[in-house]
Amino acid sequence: MDKKKSLIQQIIRFGFVGGGAFVIDYGIMIFLTEAAGINYLISSACSFVISVIFNYILSVKWVFNVSGERSQAQDMTVFMVLSVIGLGINQLIMWLTVDKLHIFYMLAKIGATAVVMVYNFTTRKLFLENRRV
């Protein structure tokens, strides 16, 4: 398979995995905020962490070619470090849009997710896929 076709297939798979992770992230955030009365920043962080676990499992099994140069523990460490940075980006965008721009947290989460999704694909492609870190 040529590189362009392979990249397109990978982006589609990433989209499916990311879509599932978003449903988990968004659903848990809304549940924790609305039903449990937890502050949106705390519920957003909790839901993000849970969705990252789902995302990691499917990303290494189905999206990115991570076999070979590193151990599974090293791959997971790289994934988690990138995810923590993504969480920081998510939280910053949530805080700026909700507290400073007064955008409803459910809408802000959609924008934050879009930005973090681009960051996630780019960094995981660069640092996780059979490359030295």
Query: Over the chain, what is the mean pLDDT?
Result: 90
- The H helix count followed by the E strand count for the chain is 4, 0
Instruction: Calculate mean pLDDT across residues 106-132.
Output: 88
| Cα distance between residue 131 and residue 45, in whole Å | 29
Candidates 133, 30, 27, 40; CA nearest to 80 is: 133
Q: pLDDT tens across 6-26, in order?
A: 889 999 999 999 999 999 999
